Amino acid sequence: LRESLVQSEKMAAVGTLVAGLSHELNNPLGIILGFAQAQLMRPSLDNGSRTAFECIETHTQRCARLVRTLLDFSRRSGPVRERIEVGRMLERVYELASGQAERSQVQLKIIESPVDLPGLEANVPEMESALLNLVGNALDATPPGGTVSVGAHLSPARDGMELFVTDTGSGMTPDVRQRIFDPFFTTKPVGQGTGLGLSITRSIVESYGGRIDVETAPGAGTTMRLWLPVAPAHPTEVSA
């Protein structure tokens, strides 16, 4: 519990601090990127300068991505509840991730639940981006020829719904596993990871009263599970 309190305090501090900072960084980053890209269009550019400007471009884009992620997160107003049709959400996640899966030569599968699933009450774009974070990570960790499966079912205790993403990828060492929810922790190459995906996903899921679990072993793949409380079958009107 203490660990999770420290984690949410950290995220709250990140939220307040970066709202202003990210906003201020947006314009100068855009300007640096624009000048670097203009230089890269010059046919007469010598090789040394080209390498330098490419480096500026890559790293500025990385900063811009980080700033965008932080800005989106800091603008979040808190949980918004609407009824989510889980089957449709999984289809959309499939559509959005299938390009990356194809490029990585990984098979992406949707696992249909054998029973009709109850609805979830959460914000559609947030839950989609939480799932897409997990699918993106799974695809990054899985070598060509592997499989990433996404699905949903009633949780074994039938007290909520489980959304899961399973991959046949690299798995995680205990060291990595311990740190995956730390803001800014990433093992990905420069320019590819912000280290914010899982800490943001966890904050989103916890704000809906849910939780996130990981099951992994080096070389044996990973399963990430999101548990969420389900919406009541007949929601009662609450009068103000």
Task: State the residues that interact with ligand ADP by CB under 6 A.
Answer: 133, 137-138, 141, 167, 169-170, 172, 176, 180, 185-188, 193-199, 222
Taking the least distance from each CB to ligand ADP, the nearer of 65 and 153 is 65
Q: How far is the CB of 197 from ligand ADP (least distance, A)?
A: 3
Measured from each CB, the residue nearest to ligand ADP is: 197
Pure H helices in the chain? 2-40, 47-74, 86-103, 124-141, 174-179, 197-207
Give me the least distance between CB of 108 and ligand ADP, in Å please: 13
Number of neighbours of residue 2 by Cβ within 10 angstroms: 6
Question: By C-beta, is 170 or 203 nearer to ligand ADP?
Answer: 170
Helix (H, G, I), strand (E, B) or coil at 47: helix
Closer Cβ to ligand ADP, 89 or 196, answer by number? 196
Tokens read off for 41? 């269009």
> Which of 174, 231, 224 shows the shortest CA–CA distance to 202?
224
Nearer to ligand ADP, 36 or 163 (CB): 163
**Are 129 and 237 within 8 A, CB to CB?**
no
* Residue 187 beta carbon to ligand ADP: minimum distance, rounded to whole angstroms: 3
